[in-house]
Structure 1
Amino acid sequence: MGFFGLFRNDNKKQNNDYRKATYEKGPFMIKCPFCFKKFKTEQVAFRASHSEKGDPEYEKAVDELLNEYNKRIGKGVYGEINPIIKVEGLPESNKIRVDKVLIEVKDKYDTNTSERLCPYCHNELPITSGRGPSKIISVVGASQVGKSVYMTTLLHVLERYTGERIDASLIAGSSAYNDEIRENQERIFDKNIMLDPTPKQHMEPLIENLKFKNDKIPPLTLIFYDVPGEGMTDRGYIDKHGDHIKNSDGIIFLIDPLQMKALRKKISLANKEFKGDFTEKYQEPKDIIVYLFENFISKQSNEKTNIPTAIVVTKSDMLKNLNDEEYIGSNSNIFKNYEHGKFFNLNEYENIDGEVRKFLGKVDGAFKGAMDTYFGITGYFAVSSLGCNPQNLKIDSSTNISPIRVDEPFLWLLYQMNYLDGGRE
């Protein structure tokens, strides 16, 4: 299976065929999904699974590093909790490794613990940390753009359909993440109810594991951050919680057609059955770029970021009723679902990318111009998370929820990160 071109350096624009993949061997450097520091696998800390009164090393204590991190992001602090085990003081026979990665230790009380921590902030690390690469993907966009719904349907499609097509499997990074994902998916796909907006509070990552059937390919830890829309335009909030954006390996930038003044009234008239909020309260897409520029782009060389960024027009089903060929053709490919298989189809991508670039150039030239100026690696997409319009936060129970092209931006990011080969039919 040579379609996952890990760590390749070939020119993607001329990638017209399959390539035999080469794979980096572990153990891998760990990137903490919370404080974003990098360190070797042997530097991980462990939290003891018990405490012992009278033993200074194993008594419960306040974890200053963890509380310092929690204070910084506005999260509650802990009182005394189980201590940190000093790994360097343990004999080698007490250290358990898998794939050369230290995953568990047996303390001096002959008790095992596998709760691995970042040595810099003492947050618990994903189970697969060190056994494969980690990639941070930030999902950004204004309020009401549909980030949480998009993430829910994206994971639904990746887990149930896309994974099999690319010979891989996506599962939640822990039972807690699995419960959160399952609850959101049941709400949409089983109960036909929309999700509540992401609250503006401290942000927790959503961690997923992508494992390939080919054992030669190391597992990939995916760390998703969904930024609340209200937080995107709050300088103080971004200063406190936005570190993950500048540390991203990929960005998914969602924009809502209703954010575009040129389309807002037309969409309102064309989608008469939609009873959502068509007020003037929508933020402009360019507003989000301003806050990203203030936060980190302005500090980059040439005031441009080279983090691969997928610009995604959401709710594309709304555009089908415009009947205005000036903006988008009624037979456009953006309304037709497409399934990328064992390689990322560059012909299909280039068609969609060209259509959406042309569309945005007409309806919001200022936004597209800013993207071309401040973002060095971009791909343009259009998706519909549901394939239909909800009314009053409910989805018509007679409607078949059919996401359209929701996995395409994610697969493009995998391609840009050299985890998925490109090809042409």
Structure 2
Amino acid sequence: MATTLYCPYCYDRFAERKIEFRCAGRVSVTGKVCKPKVDRNARDVMGDGQLRFPAFEADGRKLNATCPHCDLVTFIRLCPNCHSALPNYFGKVDSRMIALIGAKESGKTIFITVLLHEMMHRISRQFGVAVLGADDDTRLRYEKDYESSLYEQGSLPDVTRSASAGRLRQPLVFSFAIDRRRLGRTRVDRSVLSFFDTAGEDLTHSDSVELNTRYLASADGIILLLDPLQMRGARPLVGDDTELPVRADAGDRPEHVLGRVVGLLERMSGASRRGKIKKPIAVAFSKMDTLLGTLPEDSPILAEPPGDACFDEADSLAVHRHVEQLLHKWQGGGLSETLGVHFEKYRLFGLSALGNNPVGGAGDDGPRRVSHHGIQPIRVADPFLWLMSEFGAIPKKRG
């Protein structure tokens, strides 16, 4: 296990022994009890001004420590930077940071909502995994602000607000446990997954991009979500009943978003002029439901993903090669060349989180909503499963 860790909440880098602890706030055997107060680290880094029991330093390599103020043993371990409570066994199990980035209005919030829903339902059954929120905030916020809003109320989310003043929004942190006993082994493997929904503006200007430097630096893999309807060759192909998004400014076009990501990653990695970026990147084109009529009947994007308890490499490569062909049709062939030049591992995907074009919006009263057909995702989990197979967290079937 690596000695350098990244906080799944603020993405700060630290050694395991630097992990701090928080008093549990109960009366100790000596009769002492600590009083809660505002935690300056939590307030300044995460904007959390709630009253908390005191934090203190101890040997973070251990799972518990004794509060020096009241002599109470506590198991609450904290990030030394933001003082967020770390998931159980953090530092003892793998932590997989997956950065979800993309241009404005590429559908990131809808994508992450549907992806997590699929992870907790279909994928959990297929792969024998348990996906749970790692903290109360994640569990409550995902259910209320993400899943219930989209799946029960049919409401599409508002545009994600940009990070400001160097303060990161609270990410969604999940535990991912796979039962290896289904594969004839004798253990359960656990990972910690952190998803941070960046605003499109955070990748438009260099000053706001820097606010997310720690996020990208800590990521084990990247999902870059791009809108094909912002590509010159794709816009004329959609049907008359599809509401096209406003044409993006130059900074929000797919090729420019990818260029800024490449530049930032190269600066962070300190790669040599001849080296490539080692972080795997999944480049996913969203809203493919608007272009289904332009795909051939044998398109692998239209095929049902294999249902085996492993990632099917041959199926994924078929989708990758088909998207490469589509990029040339959409006048975006340079994207594939850029990825090949700068990344050691990359994969192209085509997906739709909703599966159907939303209703309402321009010329209609009220906000845009989920289609009356409901949510019927198309290959929404493919980028995540590819990354997890690259990490070795799920088995891979090679074609």
- Read off the aligned partner of 1:291 and give its amino acid letter: R
Where in structure 2 are the equivalents of 1:266-415 lying within 5 Å?
266-267=237-238, 270=239, 272-279=240-247, 281=249, 283-298=252-267, 299-302=270-273, 304-322=276-294, 328-363=295-330, 364-391=332-359, 392=361, 393-397=368-372, 399-415=373-389
Match of 1:102 among 57, 62, 67: 62
Shift of 1:284: 1.2
- Read off the aligned partner of 1:329 and give its amino acid letter: P
Match of 2:13 among 37, 40, 45: 37
Identity across aligned pairs (percent)? 22
Aligned counterpart, 1:139: 100
- Read off the aligned partner of 2:321 and give its amino acid letter: G
For residues 197 and 307 of structure 1, the distance between their equivalents in structure 2, rounded to whole angstroms, comes to 28
Taking structure 1 as the reference length, what is the TM-score of the superposition? 0.79
For residues 348 and 355 of structure 2, the distance between their equivalents in structure 1, rounded to whole angstroms, comes to 19
1:176-195 CA-to-partner distances (Å, cap 9, x unmatched) read 10112212112222222211
Q: Which moved more, 1:185-194 or 1:288-297?
A: 288-297
- Read off the aligned partner of 2:284 and give its amino acid letter: V
Query: Would you say 1:118 and 2:90 are equivalent positions?
Result: no
Shift of 1:234: 2.0
SS of 1:198's equivalent? coil
Aligned counterpart, 2:183: none
For residues 308 and 208 of structure 1, the distance between their equivalents in structure 2, rounded to whole angstroms, comes to 20
1:112-144 CA-to-partner distances (Å, cap 9, x unmatched) read 433311234433322341231101100111011
Query: Would you say 1:212 and 2:174 are equivalent positions?
Result: no
- Read off the aligned partner of 2:79 and give its amino acid letter: C
- Read off the aligned partner of 1:285 and give its amino acid letter: P
Where in structure 2 are the equivalents of 1:175-254 lying within 5 Å?
175-183=136-144, 184-201=146-163, 202-214=168-180, 216-254=187-225
CA contact (8 A) 2:11 2:218 kept: no
For residues 167 and 133 of structure 1, the distance between their equivalents in structure 2, rounded to whole angstroms, comes to 18
1:279-299 CA-to-partner distances (Å, cap 9, x unmatched) read 455821111122223323244
RMSD of equivalent CA atoms: 3.0
1:139-165 CA-to-partner distances (Å, cap 9, x unmatched) read 111011001100000011111011121
Aligned counterpart, 2:30: none
Shift of 1:102: 3.0
CA contact (8 A) 2:39 2:49 kept: yes
Aligned counterpart, 1:19: none
For residues 277 and 58 of structure 2, the distance between their equivalents in structure 1, rounded to whole angstroms, comes to 39
For residues 116 and 50 of structure 2, the distance between their equivalents in structure 1, rounded to whole angstroms, comes to 36
For residues 79 and 174 of structure 1, the distance between their equivalents in structure 2, rounded to whole angstroms, comes to 16
Aligned counterpart, 1:11: none
- Read off the aligned partner of 1:39 and give its amino acid letter: A
SS of 1:333's equivalent? coil
**How many pairs align?**
372
SS of 1:305's equivalent? coil
Where in structure 2 are the equivalents of 1:146-161 lying within 5 Å?
146-161=107-122
- Read off the aligned partner of 2:206 and give its amino acid letter: R
1:241-293 CA-to-partner distances (Å, cap 9, x unmatched) read 232112210100111111101111322xx1x2233534455821111122223
SS of 2:301's equivalent? helix
- Aligned CA distance change for structure 1 residues 147 and 280 (closer, same or farther; 3 Å): closer
Unaligned runs of 5+ in 2: 28-32, 181-185, 362-367
Shift of 1:76: 4.2
Q: Which moved more, 1:406-415 or 1:29-38?
A: 29-38
Match of 1:46 among 21, 28, 35: 21
- Aligned CA distance change for structure 1 residues 171 and 338 (closer, same or farther; 3 Å): same
Aligned counterpart, 2:123: 162
CA contact (8 A) 1:286 1:367 kept: yes
Q: Which moved more, 1:115-124 or 1:376-385?
A: 115-124
Shift of 1:205: 2.0
RCO higher in structure (CA 8 A, sep ≥6): 1
SS of 2:189's equivalent? coil
CA contact (8 A) 2:179 2:189 kept: no
- Aligned CA distance change for structure 1 residues 76 and 345 (closer, same or farther; 3 Å): closer
For residues 72 and 207 of structure 2, the distance between their equivalents in structure 1, rounded to whole angstroms, comes to 44
- Aligned CA distance change for structure 1 residues 353 and 174 (closer, same or farther; 3 Å): same
- Read off the aligned partner of 1:142 and give its amino acid letter: A
Shift of 1:62: 7.2
Taking structure 2 as the reference length, what is the TM-score of the superposition? 0.83
1:54-96 CA-to-partner distances (Å, cap 9, x unmatched) read xxx96777756556x62xxxx54859864333436xxxxxx9x
